Amino acid sequence: MALRRLNVCVSFSWKMKYSTHSDPLGTKLKERQAQMMKKGLPVKKPIEGVKNVILVASGKGGVGKSTVAVNLALALSRHLPTQDVGLLDADIFGPSIPTMMNLSGNPSLTEKNLIKPLVNYNIKCMSMGFLVDNNAPVVWRGLMVMSAIEKLLRQVDWSPLDYLIIDMPPGTGDTQLSIAQNIPVAGAVVVTTPQEIALIDARKGALMFEKVGIPVLGLVNNMASYSCPNCGHHSHIFGATGAEKLGKEIGVDVLVDIPLDTSIMEAADGGYPIVISSASNNPLVQAYISLAEKVLSRLSAIKNEPSR
């Protein structure tokens, strides 16, 4: 009883503190509380020396985020040869970038004690895969993951970079929140395959970006169709029009359809991605270059939009 009375008194005196002649009930208390709560959220701080951060994400696993991220980074670098492009593998548990970029080994430290990214094909890369043994699992709870992501963002010598492509892990959890809340992101590309099971998760991924205020630049419809190498018969193994329907539903365009082709997988597994291992007139290479052009065009449109 005494405790309840004390709580009422405390609550009353708290309201009295904010009560004024013009606002006798202390309604501005709610604004004050909202201001105090906002202080708890992290402030977005840009990564030093990095101009634009682009996320390659999907709610779903195994749709080709890493393959798209690697080939997009290489296509951007090819399209803009005077600009610097970097690639961060934010998948702590299943890092694929070392295999795809044919990089391995322990990174060294610079004089300023920053981790030096490993470079191949003119792209600066960083991944958890460089810091742990090939067979060693990373069995970490969310807090450790947040800390690792923070280090991979800020304690790597990225500068100077015009574009940093971040290959995101599947899901909508700690990694996604840590990145969205801590750094300003220019835009996100959402990768999906045409099947409904993948679209459900891709939709969630896109809605998550909307919730955290990151513009979705567009969808990539990966593994869209398959041509039999023997007879040329065209089939839609994972479905046909799903990505287009999702795009219309959430008001986002499909930037490119990328076919399911063994050569993309072989190139990625071999550490010699298709954008650089095949001729530029190869339709698969053209698809990634088209994606790069559209991403740049969307980024430019967003920057030129009058702020709301």
Partner 1 sequence: MASENAQILPNVKRIFLVLSGKGGVGKSTVSTQLALTLQNCGFKVGLLDIDLCGPSIPRMLGLENSSVHQCAQGWVPVYTTPDQTLGVMSVGFLLANKDDPVVWRGPKKTAMIKQFLTDVYWQDLDYLIIDTPPGTSDEHISVMENLKSVRCDGAILVTTPQAVAVGDVRRELTFCRKTGLNVTGILENMCGYVCPHCSECTNIFSYGGGESLAEMGKVPFLGRIPIDPKLTKAMECGENFITSFNESVATQTFISIVKNFIIQQEENIDGSENQ
Q: Which residues bind partner 1 (CB under 8 A)?
A: 59-63, 66, 92-94, 96, 99-100, 134-143, 145, 169-174, 176-177, 195-198, 200-201, 203-205, 207-208, 211, 226, 228-231, 233, 235, 237-239, 260, 262, 265-266, 268-269
Q: Nearest approach, Cβ of 147 to partner 1 (angstroms)? A: 12
Specify the amino acid at residue 149.
I
Look up tokens 């499909």; give the residue.
254
Task: Name the packing angle between helices 65-79 and 262-269 (round to 10°).
Answer: 80
Number of H helices, E strands in the chain: 11, 10
DSSP state letter for 82: T
Cβ nearer to partner 1, comparing 50 with 74: 74
Give the integer Cα–Cα distance in Å for 181 and 172. Answer: 13
Q: Nearest approach, Cβ of 135 to partner 1 (angstroms)? A: 5
DSSP state letter for 239: -
Q: Nearest approach, Cβ of 65 to partner 1 (angstroms)? A: 9
DSSP state letter for 190: E
Q: Nearest approach, Cβ of 175 to partner 1 (angstroms)? A: 9
Cβ nearer to partner 1, comparing 92 with 276: 92
Cβ nearer to partner 1, comparing 198 with 243: 198
Find out whether 153 and 47 touch, Cβ atoms under 8 Å: yes
Find out whether 219 and 255 touch, Cβ atoms under 8 Å: yes
Cβ nearer to partner 1, comparing 250 with 296: 250
Q: Nearest approach, Cβ of 69 to partner 1 (angstroms)? A: 12
Angle, CA 203 vertex, CA 202 and CA 205 arms, to 5°: 60
Give the integer Cα–Cα distance in Å for 164 and 46. Answer: 12
9, two tokens:
């008194």
Q: Nearest approach, Cβ of 197 to partner 1 (angstroms)? A: 5
Q: Nearest approach, Cβ of 115 to partner 1 (angstroms)? A: 22
Cβ nearer to partner 1, comparing 34 with 231: 231
Evaluate the CA torsion angle 208, 210, 214, 217 in order and state its sign. positive
Give the integer Cα–Cα distance in Å for 255 and 276. Answer: 21
Cβ nearer to partner 1, comparing 60 with 294: 60
Q: Nearest approach, Cβ of 90 to partner 1 (angstroms)? A: 12
Task: Name the packing angle between helices 142-154 and 174-182 (round to 10°).
Answer: 40
Give the integer Cα–Cα distance in Å for 280 and 253. Answer: 25
Cβ nearer to partner 1, comparing 15 with 203: 203
Cβ nearer to partner 1, comparing 119 with 197: 197
Find out whether 47 and 158 touch, Cβ atoms under 8 Å: yes
Q: Nearest approach, Cβ of 134 to partner 1 (angstroms)? A: 7
Cβ nearer to partner 1, comparing 26 with 94: 94
Number of C-beta neighbours around residue 304 at 10 A: 7
